[in-house]
Amino acid sequence: MSVLIVEDNSDLAANIGDYLEMAGHTVDFAEDGRHGLALAERDSFDIMVLDLALPRIDGIDLCSRLRAGGHALPVLMLTARDTLDDKLVGFGAGADDYLVKPFSQEELLARLTALHRRAVGARDHDVLRVRDLEYDPATLRTRRGGSDLKLNPAQRRLLEALLRHSERVMSRGELERVLWGDDPPDSDALRAHIHLLRNAIDRGHEIKLLQTVQGVGYRLADPDDL
């Protein structure tokens, strides 16, 4: 597994990382929520270990933003907060599992392995579709009308987010976070990426699926369903 550990306690993060690496997994680290969100949105990880009490962006906010951007990265939350209400808040933000400190490394690894196994099984059948457009997050294959489309990584991230929120208008801010986390460029780069994605999926097709909602953002949907 490729694991992202978002934890501001450097000693704890190092201990977890050492244990996972000894078990044959790869590990990357972030010491605050903003950095963790940026890494999760830009890079490909199999799973995230997420502390709740983080500087800059806390774990609940990080997880909520990740889910709002259409990311299905499995998240295991680590925290000293052990009440039922705390756990319900974590699950409500999109966490997949919850482990209370202190914990054993063996249990952490077992939970991560189980989450990863379920996620892989889900991705194998999780082909996203709108009308005759389909995208498989597991294989990165994109097709429309039975023909394969070539998309770059940024276009694939935008497409997946829009497909997962099909029929809902995604704001410019949401889509910028999909591509750049909390550090979008000053230029209107999103418009250029949307233009390229629209050309890739709609050019040559009578029915246009990627729609601009003036003053709000963008939506990917079958016009017949609106």
Are 142 and 159 spatial neighbours (Cβ–Cβ below 8 Å)?
yes
Comparing 20-24, 52-56, 122-126, 151-155, which segment has the lowest mean pLDDT? 122-126
Confirm whether pTM is higher than 0.75: no
Instruction: Kindly give, in sequence order, each residue whose CB lies less than 8 Å from that of residue 49, ignoring residues fewer than 6 positions away.
Output: 3, 4, 5, 6, 7, 16, 76, 78, 108, 112
Q: Half-sphere exposure (CA, 13 Å, Cβ side) for 86?
A: 14
All residues at 6 or more sequence positions from 131 whose CB lies less than 8 Å from its CB, including other chains: 207, 209, 222, 224
Whether omega for the bond prior to residue 55 falls within 30 degrees of 0, making it cis, is no
* pLDDT tens by residue, 89-147: 888 888 899 998 889 999 999 999 888 888 766 555 578 999 999 998 777 889 999 89
Q: What number of helices (H) and strands (E) belong to the chain?
A: 8, 12
Domains and CATH numbers, the chain: 2-123 (3.40.50.2300), 128-225 (1.10.10.10)
Interval 136-180: pLDDT, tens: 877 788 999 989 999 988 899 899 999 988 878 999 988 988 888
Cβ-in-10-Å burial (0-12, 13-18, 19+) of 223 comes to exposed
User: What single-letter amino acid sits at 50?
Assistant: L
